[in-house]
Structure 1
């Protein structure tokens, strides 16, 4: 049914380019009415013949370190019309992040994720260096790094929430399409249990939160999006 409606709307939009103004206006109004009725966007119509794809980020976290990556991937994918999952090659402890969505969305999502990971790792490198000078144990350093990472993606999540609130006209455009979500149905998503180190390393959480919240500055996101378009 939906496929037939989409085809009908596309034909009406094509008639909207008719040299006959009455015919064109009627076709456009009819198309818009159907789009509202069936909650479809022009973006979805352009994807009528397109299928979701997977994009391998080539970025991984391990069983022991960088678990914050799953939270980061979740926030970025959800706000860029994609989903993510992990694959673990046999015999390894490396969990690779995979994005799934329509091509443009998945490529943008992957680029933003790679850029965000670089930003987080750059800060973690400085944190580790300072903590080693203070002769902190590896366990304490790892906890501090995980806490910073968690703060970063939670700050980023709040920043996206603010953006959506300020641009409510985005509406359905920012929603993950059902056909993209379908890939997760047969999967058992690997979930790691996060340990709460916020009280012990609150300063690192706060730093990560602040930096995550400003990460979505338009100049950064526009730079990333222009690279994949």
Structure 2
């Protein structure tokens, strides 16, 4: 394959990020036509020599609480071309979340995940305080927290679906690369296990859903202007 063709497609894909919508749309359409003509995927062009990597978030949930974390990791990984699994040290009840993917994707995953976990925990801190003041039991409090967490990641998932539909026209649908999925063949993929959720917590689920649907990582990743 002529490297000049790959370079041309790379430049067109870069132009696809132009703030000028007409220019961006034309560039993406031209790049897609070239990829079809030369039987290339976006990853063939941009990541020909890259190797997927493992990134440890150092964030964990326990056997007794924060099971919503696996649902959150699953949603974020799937929508950023990665896979996730967990590592549980021998004799420990702590389950650490790990992401696998290409470096840029894995970096986005870990950054988004860490920020989302921080947002959820900040909200839960106040929720737990309120429930303790109401003299709720530990089981009731854990169930309430699971409801909020589940609502959050399901709201976030709906936002990802909306974005995917908007990009469908240009073929920019997020798919986990086969070579990334291949890495987990001999590993135990983390299975999402929901904690107990009671119907009395519907209001907290709805609150979490709204928070997830309005969640944004953009400003956090970009950081302050210098």
Q: Which TM-score bucket, shorter chain as reference?
A: 0.7 to 0.9
| Residue number in structure 1 paired with 2:133 | 133
| Residue number in structure 2 paired with 1:10 | 3
- The structure-2 alpha-carbon separation of the partners of 1:190 and 1:100, relative to structure 1 and needing over 3 Å to count, comes to closer
The alignment yields a C-alpha RMSD, in angstroms, of 2.3
What's the CA shift for 1:167? 2.3
Structure 2 unpaired stretches of 5+? 10-30
The DSSP-based 3-state class of the residue aligned with 2:48 is coil
| Maintained 8 Å contact 2:146/2:196 | no
Distance across 1 between alignment mates of 2:197 and 2:120: 17
- The structure-2 alpha-carbon separation of the partners of 1:78 and 1:91, relative to structure 1 and needing over 3 Å to count, comes to same
The DSSP-based 3-state class of the residue aligned with 2:51 is coil
| Maintained 8 Å contact 2:143/2:196 | no
Answer yes or no: is 1:159 the counterpart of 2:159.
yes
Q: Mean Cα displacement is larger for which, 106-115 or 31-40?
A: 31-40
Structure 1 unpaired stretches of 5+? 1-7, 17-30
Q: Which is greater in Rg?
A: 1
The DSSP-based 3-state class of the residue aligned with 1:184 is coil
State the TM-score, normalizing by the size of structure 2.
0.81
What's the CA shift for 1:171? 2.8
Aligned residues: 202
| Residue number in structure 2 paired with 1:40 | 41
- The structure-2 alpha-carbon separation of the partners of 1:9 and 1:136, relative to structure 1 and needing over 3 Å to count, comes to farther
State the TM-score, normalizing by the size of structure 1.
0.80
| Residue number in structure 2 paired with 1:223 | 219
Equivalence map 1:62-211=2 (5 Å): 62-169=62-169, 171-172=171-172, 174-191=174-191, 193-195=193-195, 197-211=197-211
What's the CA shift for 1:191? 2.9
